[in-house]
Structure 1
Amino acid sequence: MKKILLIGGTGYIGRNIKEYLESLNYIIKSPTSSELDATDEKKVRDFLSKEYYDVVIHSAVDNSCTKLYKDNSKVLYNSLNIFYSFEKNKKLFGKMIYFGSGAEYNKENDIKNVSEEEFGNSIPKDEYGFAKYIIAKQIENSDNIYNLRLFGVFGKYEHWKSKFISNACCKVIKGIPISIRQNVYFDYLAIEDLCKIVEWFINNKPKFNVYNVTTGKSIDLLTIAEMINGYSVDKLPIYVCKDGLAKEYTSSNQRMLNEIGSFEFTNIEDSIKELIDYYNENSERIDMYSLLY
């Protein structure tokens, strides 16, 4: 069984991956930030020198959309520091799985069924997207680092105060109408499917350095809201604040499917039902003030 180092294990993606892999008896070490300052290249080198890891999973993220009350001015600096602290020491581990973002394609434009070959046609203007873009460029020339480019991943442990699907689930449970700034098409992947895909990358040698990790199917927010609203005791209003459609955010997953073979994605209705059940079980943690304001 491969030995795995997980960075960002207390975050949404990392927590789910850790839970999933541990259920399969993988050997995982996931240091906290107090145990390993991943922004310090020397500390990362010293840490990696003590023990060999077959796989490093880099799920640490510095993203302003989930840091509503924190300093967001160092998103670019911290994101690059964490990545390059490991990239510089890549000879000390087998391979690294890094989670990129569809924001690498520049979210100021329509990102519609985009393929990996289209990367680089436009440079992101925001700090988060620009950091991901720089890192993706570096990974293109790496011999043991792989970029799993995520677009929309939803499920338990995500930041329900800001993430649409979880936020809508919590509102329905509390009897609050669902609001949508503007309808838009996304490609949403269930977190349980991402965990299975990550396991494939742990145990196989990919042909490419970069993969769009999506379902390959688009769905709009209004349709999702209507699905979620079906679980309300009384049918709640759904408010769409602005007419028309915002810029699309979807991708082709053909490169990934060509390599991993057939993959049965979880039906989004089933995943939403599971998420509703999860929030019902943890309803005491849902802060009404945060949902309203």
Structure 2
Amino acid sequence: MKKIILLTGGSGMVGSNIIKHNFSQNYKILSPTSSDLNLLNYKDLEDYIKFNKPELVIHAAGIVGGIKANINYPVKFLVDNMQMGLNILMASKTQKVKKFINFSSSCMYPKNARNPLLEDSILKGELESTNEGYALSKITSTRLCEYISREDSSFLYKTVIPCNLYGKYDDFSYENSHMIPGVIKKIHDAKNKNLEFVNIWGDGLARREFMYAADIADFIYYAVENFNKMPQNINVGLGLDYSIIEYYKIIADVIGYKGKFNHDMTKPTGMNRKLIDDKRLNEFGWSHQTSLETGIKETYKYFLDEVKK
């Protein structure tokens, strides 16, 4: 009999990649939509878990977006994400679900923390202001997982802290996209409109670590099969990063854009660097498979086939 897994956020980028992964056929994955199950309604959520009896919950749902969205809607990023995290964790605990994978974010690390960012540096300094609300919500769910497991060791509630992610099923809108899908759309549009210049927020020297979303799905199935030895909190990334301008150049090469880049120094750029430490990940025995160039090509193909068609 297949193990029952409840996956929240099944229609998002991370959730969709988990569902589409080849290993998904080995499990019975429940992935209710937000209209089927409102994570902001605790009673409905607890009733759903009580009825379906999942053996494992993967919490990948959330309100997400880039710098612009985080700045414009800090209340929603804080309140909705925190409430969803508290509800799914406490409902799972109340219904005695013993295993839980909580998706967090590297944005919860202090803005001045030394790179590479260690899992133990959570709450050791001031947060980056541009996404503080989202970071606070993720810190809360991460700590709650720790507290639940500390109070009763039979509850294995663990947190995955991925680096920035991109890939198929991403959001390519100017309003809500993260950097890579936003840049893909921007450069694609610039090429089609024969624009001579593309604007970059800031000097382009800030560094970011982006992993292809299909790889995080692969990690999740590895974690499910090796759950007991998985650390309480674990960074999942590449162990290397690139500057913003390097991402722009690679994306421009893939798309075939020959224009130049302007730097808008009035725009915020966020943290100067966010490279996560991958020592625990290496000890856990997993590593990513997709190069940046391959991931960008696959993501742009998806954009052309599914978003722009």
TM-score (norm 2): 0.82
SS of the residue corresponding to residue 24 of structure 1 reads helix
One-letter code aligned to 1:155: G
Aligned length: 281
Change (3 A) 1:262 1:75: closer
1:58–1:98 contact (8 Å) kept in structure 2: yes
Indicate which of 207, 231, 246 corresponds to 1:185: 207
Residue type of the alignment partner of 2:183: A
Deviation at 1:72, TM superposition (A): 5.2
Q: Spell out the pairing of 1:257-268 with structure 2 (5 A cutoff).
A: 257-259=282-284, 261-268=285-292
User: Quick one: structure 1 residues 60 and 283, their matched pair in 2 at CA, closer, same or farther if it must change by over 3 Å?
Assistant: closer
Report the alpha carbon displacement of residue 277 of structure 1 after superposing the two structures with TM.
1.8
- Structure 2 counterpart of 1:165, which letter? I
Partner of 2:306: 282
Q: Is the alpha carbon distance of 1:45 and 1:248 closer, same or farther for their aligned partners in structure 2, counting shifts above 3 Å?
A: same
Is residue 102 from structure 1 mapped to residue 85 from structure 2 by the alignment?
no
- Read off the aligned partner of 1:206 and give its amino acid letter: K
Say yes or no: does 1:201 pair with 2:226: no
Q: C-alpha separation between the residues in 1 aligned to 2:230 and 2:178?
A: 33
Q: What's the counterpart of residue 83 of structure 1?
A: 85
Contact residue 111 and residue 250 of structure 1 kept, 8 A: no
Percentage identity across aligned positions?
Answer: 22
Deviation at 1:111, TM superposition (A): 5.8
What are the within-5 Å matches in structure 2 for residues 1-293 of structure 1? 1-20=2-21, 24-63=25-64, 65=66, 73-89=75-91, 90=93, 91-107=95-111, 109=112, 112-124=115-127, 126-141=132-147, 142=149, 143-161=155-173, 162-174=177-189, 175=191, 177-182=197-202, 183=204, 184-204=206-226, 205-242=228-265, 247-259=272-284, 261-282=285-306, 284=308
Question: 1:185 & 1:146 partners in 2: Cα distance?
Answer: 28
Cα pair distance change 1:251/1:2, threshold 3 Å:
same
CA offsets per residue over residues 28-67 of structure 1, 9 Å max, x none? 1111222222122222221111122121111111236486
Contact (CA 8 Å) 1:104, 1:123: kept in 2 or not?
Answer: no
Q: Which amino acid aligns with 2:136?
A: F
- Counterparts of 1:228 and 1:74 in 2: how far apart (Å)? 31
Q: Which residue of 2 aligns with 1:290?
A: none
- Find the aligned partners of 2:183 and 2:279 in 1 and give their Cα distance: 30
Matches of 2:8 and 2:225 in 1, distance apart?
18
Q: TM-score, normalised by structure 1?
A: 0.86
Matched-pair contact (CA < 8 Å) for 1:48–1:92: no
Matched residue type, 2:116: N
TM-superposed CA distance for 1:25, in Å, is: 4.2
* Unmatched tracts of structure 1, length 5 or more: 286-293
Alpha-carbon distance in structure 2 between the residues aligned to 1:186 and 1:111: 14
Greater helix fraction, Structure 1 or Structure 2: 2
Deviations 1:237-263 (A, max 9, x none): 1223239x851111111111101x252
Q: Secondary structure at the match of 1:60?
A: coil
Q: What's the CA shift for 1:132? A: 1.1
- Bigger share in strand: 1
